[in-house]
Amino acid sequence: MVNRFRFSYPGYSETFTGFFDPQINSNGFKPNPNTTVFEWLNKDSAYRGRVAAHATWYAFRRIINTERSGVPVYDGWDKGAAPFADDKSTLLQELYRTTTQLWPDVAFDALMQQLVVVQMNTAMPKVLFIGYGETDEYAHSGRYDLYLRSAQQVDRYLSQLWSRFQADPRTRNKVTLLISTDHGRGWGVEWTDHGEEVNGAEYIWSAAIGPDIGALGVRRNSPTQQAQMAATIAAALGKDWRSAEPQAAVALPIFKN
């Protein structure tokens, strides 16, 4: 990552805008003054109204600046459930209202995953952000057992989504999945934490799969930055984010041709 803070809002903002803005220095920061790649796409006639975000952490309404961008952001407990009227949505809305909130700012990944599935069945977006949040909470609590369990569960959620895409003729071999994290975690005993003073938390990983992504295997020793993700998201749609945001880093070199 280019940002030095090594925590969530700066990390996601770097991921979505392609550059480090030093004024974004807290997780409580106001709605993002910078335009994200999602906002830009939502103002493009080919994508307008077809961009959405689901996340367990309640800060994404600010990070994506839902008010200005017009991107519907379903996040946290209070705004997590989309106002769809089908039976499954009604049940999930009730669970969001009545589940005991282990963390006030972060809902459970399992519930959000079901909301994502409903979103796909009800109004399939062309661009969808999904923010899983549990692993960070369990790590901060020192619960390595639940941290691993939660991480493994995210693998299964991604597998579930990918299988759905590949089983549906409308989406088969048409979806690109980009996976990354907002920050790393400390080395050794500092694994529970991250932040400016925590060594190791500046290292993140990312993965990609899709019809235009080269099968490059595991890439090591090829320096890349979190800031490259914004242009990569656009490039997966054949678009050039840097034409709109010249400060943004270049797309990751993962595409065929």
Q: Which residues bind Zn ion (CB under 5 A)?
A: 136
| Contact yes or no for 8/27 (Cβ under 8 A) | yes
Nearer to Zn ion, 57 or 129 (CB): 57
Q: Looking at residue 53, what DSSP letter applies?
A: E
Nearest to Zn ion of 106, 230 (CB atom)? 106
Closest CA to 11 of 26, 188, 135: 26
> CA-CA distance, 32 to 68, in Å (whole number)?
9
Query: How far is 117 from 115, CA to CA, in rounded Å?
Result: 5
Q: Output 39 or 136, the one with its CB closest to Zn ion.
A: 136
**For Zn ion, which residue has the nearest CB?**
136
Looking at beta carbons only, is 114 or 192 nearer to Zn ion?
Answer: 192
Strand partners, 177: 209
The least CB distance from residue 139 to Zn ion, in Å, is: 7
Cβ 199 to Zn ion shortest distance, Å:
16
- Nearest approach in angstroms of CB 34 to Zn ion is 22
**CB nearer to Zn ion: pick between 91 and 102:** 102
Closer by beta carbon to Zn ion, 7 or else 157 = 7
Q: How far is the CB of 123 from Zn ion (least distance, A)?
A: 31
What is the closest distance, in whole angstroms, from the C-beta atom of residue 137 to Zn ion in the complex? 7
Tokens of 31: 């709605």
Strand order in the sheet with 127-131: 73-75, 51-55, 127-131
Task: Report in angstroms how near the CB of residue 190 gets to Zn ion at its nearest.
Answer: 12
42 three-state secondary structure: helix
Nearer to Zn ion, 109 or 136 (CB): 136
- In the bound complex, what is the minimum distance in angstroms from residue 114's beta carbon to Zn ion? 24
Cβ 114 vs Cβ 122: under 8 Å: no
3-state helix, strand, coil in the chain (%, to 5): 40, 10, 50
Alpha helix segments (H runs only) across the chain: 8-17, 37-42, 60-63, 66-69, 87-98, 109-122, 134-140, 144-167, 229-236
